[in-house]
């Protein structure tokens, strides 16, 4: 490995602290009945990190079951269309199940088995985390239940069918808006009731400590592979690295290795795309950092969309995976520290990027990933026509065909 990719001692990024705080964000705000389970999980994770058998099994599954490393594709026609010198796509859409979620669910289900938990539960919005959890559970012989909002069940019927086919129970949640935040709330309530025999596989880099760090660890393979691929291909300095952000697992998995392996001078601009829905000037968006404020929800302290009384507000996005009124605590810390830029992207911009990648490269991305792709023309104006940008394509768009068809996008 060249010196350009070695850690710099004076700029090493270190988080969280022993209580799970990333700066002021994170922590563990849960009922007392859940505290022992979180401590048990933290201890099991600590032991697993030094267990060569656990590491070898996880890495073996990533290679032979998930299909890693995923390619770093140079999208030449896309680069020309958006006015950039080079665009490189980290193809998480080519993993088994079609999204980055499988990296995390395999790791957590291995932990569940290690802890003697024969049953796992999960929440899902777009359905990809639900499918990935059901897949990992089937592989490892675990019972599985997935909580999903009724509106998301309608929007993501194909993934609902896949989960059931894989042997999972899909639990409809009709509280509130019937979307991701409601599914998380329902899963947490259920976990409190079944905490002794059930492992909660959280899908994003949020929740009470140690989940944000745990998810980051399993997803960091994205950024680590990207850095190695850039070096192996002698691509040189990258100007920006972009990923979409809802809760933020694919983004933190992409950004974290860049934060810890490169000095501030060598590090590219890191950019997160959050859901602006119909515009952040309206009430119909999911832009927690652009329009939210710090508060507590689902066991952690972070930026949230909330009213004056501190109650979570309804989030909106055309993307079911970004339709959440909060963001992972590490992203809040990175935002305040100025280490990552977060930019809102509207539904219309995401759909335009969805079509552009499909037409120029023959790659149909998830609508979530399309939010990141939508930032390319903006970055071209800022960075210039010679700039090199990496985009994490977090998933494929099969699940979104009904949504884009309803939006009248097909030509």
Pure H helices in 28-121: 35-48, 52-61, 76-82, 101-114
Cα→Cα distances 60→54, 93, 97, 107, 136, Å: 10, 19, 17, 11, 14
Residue 222: how many other CB atoms lie within 10 Å = 28
The CA distance from 376 to 374, in Å, is 6
The CA distance from 404 to 388, in Å, is 29
185 is an active site residue? no
Q: To which H or E segment does residue 369 belong?
A: helix 367-373
Nearest to 93 by CA among 222, 227, 259: 222
**Backbone angles phi and psi of 33, in degrees to 5:** -65, -20
Nearest-5° angle of CA 342, CA 394, CA 114? 110
What are the residues whose beta carbons fall under 8 Å from the beta carbon of 4, sequence distance 6 or more? 231, 262, 266
The CA distance from 255 to 253, in Å, is 6
The CA distance from 173 to 406, in Å, is 23
92 is an active site residue? no
Active-site residue identified among 92, 123, 330, 361:
123
Q: To which H or E segment does residue 199 belong?
A: strand 198-201
237 is an active site residue? no
Active-site residue identified among 90, 101, 117, 291:
101
Cα→Cα distances 139→52, 81, 174, 188, 357, Å: 21, 42, 30, 24, 33
Long-range contacts of 223-226 (CB under 8 A, 24+ apart): 223/253, 223/254, 223/255, 223/256, 223/257, 223/258, 224/257, 225/68, 225/69, 225/70, 225/72, 225/90, 226/72, 226/90, 226/254, 226/257, 226/390, 226/392
Tokens of 329: 């605590």
Tokens of 128: 């990809």
Tokens of 216: 């980051």
Active-site residue identified among 185, 204, 224, 394:
394
- Would you call 354 helix, strand, or coil by DSSP? helix
The residues annotated as belonging to the active site are 101, 123, 394
């Amino acid at each position: 490995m060249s010196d350009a990719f070695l850690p710099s001692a004076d700029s090493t990024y270190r988080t969280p602290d022993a209580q799970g705080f990333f700066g002021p964000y994170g922590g563990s705000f849960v009922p007392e009945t859940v505290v022992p389970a979180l401590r048990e999980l933290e201890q099991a994770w600590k032991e697993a990190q030094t267990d060569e058998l656990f590491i070898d099994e996880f890495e073996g599954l990533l290679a032979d079951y998930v299909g890693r490393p995923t390619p770093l594709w140079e999208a030449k026609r896309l680069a020309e269309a958006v006015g950039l010198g080079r665009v490189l796509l980290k193809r998480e859409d080519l993993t088994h199940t079609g999204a980055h979620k499988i990296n995390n669910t395999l790791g957590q289900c291995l932990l569940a088995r290690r802890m003697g938990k024969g049953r796992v539960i999960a929440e899902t919005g777009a359905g990809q985390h639900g499918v990935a959890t059901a897949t990992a559970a089937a592989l490892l012989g675990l019972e599985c239940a997935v909580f999903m909002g009724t509106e998301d069940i309608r929007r993501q019927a194909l993934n609902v069918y896949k989960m059931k086919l894989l042997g999972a129970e899909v639990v409809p949640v009709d509280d509130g808006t019937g979307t991701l935040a409601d599914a998380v709330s329902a899963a947490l309530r259920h976990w409190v009731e079944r905490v002794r025999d059930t492992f909660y596989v959280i899908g994003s880099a949020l929740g009470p400590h140690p989940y944000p760090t745990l998810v980051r660890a399993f997803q960091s393979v994205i950024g680590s592979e990207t850095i190695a691929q850039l070096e192996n291909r002698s691509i040189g300095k990258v100007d920006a690295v972009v990923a979409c952000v809802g809760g933020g697992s694919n983004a933190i998995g992409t950004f974290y290795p860049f934060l810890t392996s490169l000095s501030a001078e060598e590090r590219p601009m890191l950019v997160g795309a959050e859901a602006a829905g119909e515009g952040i000037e309206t009430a119909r968006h999911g832009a927690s950092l652009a329009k939210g404020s710090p508060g507590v929800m689902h066991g952690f302290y972070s930026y949230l969309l909330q009213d004056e009384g501190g109650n979570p507000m309804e989030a909106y996005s055309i993307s079911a995976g970004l339709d959440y009124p909060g963001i992972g605590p590490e992203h809040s810390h990175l935002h305040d520290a100025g280490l990552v830029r977060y930019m809102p992207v509207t539904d219309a911009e995401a759909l335009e990027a969805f079509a552009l990648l499909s037409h120029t490269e023959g790659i149909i991305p998830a609508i979530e990933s399309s939010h990141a792709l939508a930032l390319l023309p903006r970055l071209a104006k800022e960075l210039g026509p010679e700039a090199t940008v990496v985009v994490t394509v977090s998933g494929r768009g099969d699940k979104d065909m009904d949504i884009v068809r309803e939006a009248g996008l097909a030509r």
